[in-house]
Amino acid sequence: MNSDLIALTFSPQALLYQGLDIVIALLLLVLMRWVFGVWTRVDGNDQLSGKDNFAFGISIASSLLALSIILWSAAEKASSEDYLAQSIQMLVYGIVGILLIKVGRFVHDRLVLDRLDKREQILSRNVSIALVDCASSIAIAIMIRSVLLWTEGFDIHSGIAVLSGFVVTLAVMLVTTRLMERRFAEDNQNDSMQDVLVRGQVALAIQHGGLLLGTAFAVSAASQLLEYHPTAYVSNLLNWLFLAMLFTLLTFALAWAAKRLVLPGINLVREVDHQHNVGLASVEMALTMGMALLLLGLVS
């Protein structure tokens, strides 16, 4: 036998509990789908297949992907030799993940996108609002993932740390959105970015979505420099907030430089804000996320 090959052996008990983890994950995805329908108070099947509401589909897809990211984190974090304990951990993290995603979306709707009714816009087939909703859900999940992997153990202290990181997540998303709204107003005669999104500006939604996802990866990069102290609740929170904002601003600066170098001579304000150039907005999104991923790679 070739000595370079690594043989993987699994006991029947390990295979049984791995299968149980997969069943739990599938049931949690079904639960997320059900919770989404209860939350929106509509017939999801009718919206998806009867009315062919693309915006509704984008929104529910983001919820399922966000939960999958958190389940990925729970599976990666599980280190106990007790397979039953790992399955319980998967279940608990999944339920907590559903709650955090829903609370995060609720706070985002009421506090960040405070000038519009997201539910009404999505039911009215507004793809722009659905894209922003999609980006915010996935961004929240990515940031929660970074907190889950940062904590140690599975106890009340790690739970408080996760909640602290969740608060920081929402705070950073709020600051990010307000900074972009301020930039948009300055470049567009004090027009409201949220009002423009309501009018269906897809390019702006892609640009803003890239900013939210870039912010999520920047916060993940910040987590690489934080040392976990189980009982240092206040310092954990303040350190998270400081480093998250620092890496977010650094991502913005690098993205600004990258856009000037990669897209020389192109007026992005005119192309994206005025001419609704989806292609250039996609390039902006890629550069913003790329710079954040670069930072994440450098500090990992």
User: Six-digit token pair at 193?
Assistant: 């970015």
Overall average pLDDT of the 210-226 stretch:
91
Overall average pLDDT of the 160-165 stretch:
85
Decide if 1 is inside a domain.
Answer: no
pLDDT at 258: 95
Task: Please tell me the total count of domains within the chain.
Answer: 1
DSSP, collapsed to helix, strand or coil, labels residue 11 as coil
Decide if 6 is inside a domain.
Answer: no
Decide if 99 is inside a domain.
Answer: yes
Decide if 4 is inside a domain.
Answer: no
Question: DSSP assignment, residue 228?
Answer: P
Q: Which residue is listed with tokens 């059900």?
A: 34
Question: DSSP assignment, residue 46?
Answer: I
User: Is this structure's pTM higher than 0.95?
Assistant: no
Non-local CB neighbours of 299 within 8 Å, separated by 6+ positions: 221, 224, 225
Q: What is the separation of C-alpha 281 from the centre of its chain, rounded to a whole number of angstroms?
A: 19
User: Is pLDDT at 287 greater than 60 in this prediction?
Assistant: yes
User: Is pLDDT at 4 greater than 70 in this prediction?
Assistant: no
Q: Residue 132: which domain range?
A: 12-299
**For 43-92, how does the pLDDT look when each residue is reduced to its tens digit (9 = 90+)?**
878 888 888 899 999 999 998 999 999 888 888 776 556 677 777 888 88
| CA nearest to 240, candidates 261, 213, 259, 221 | 221
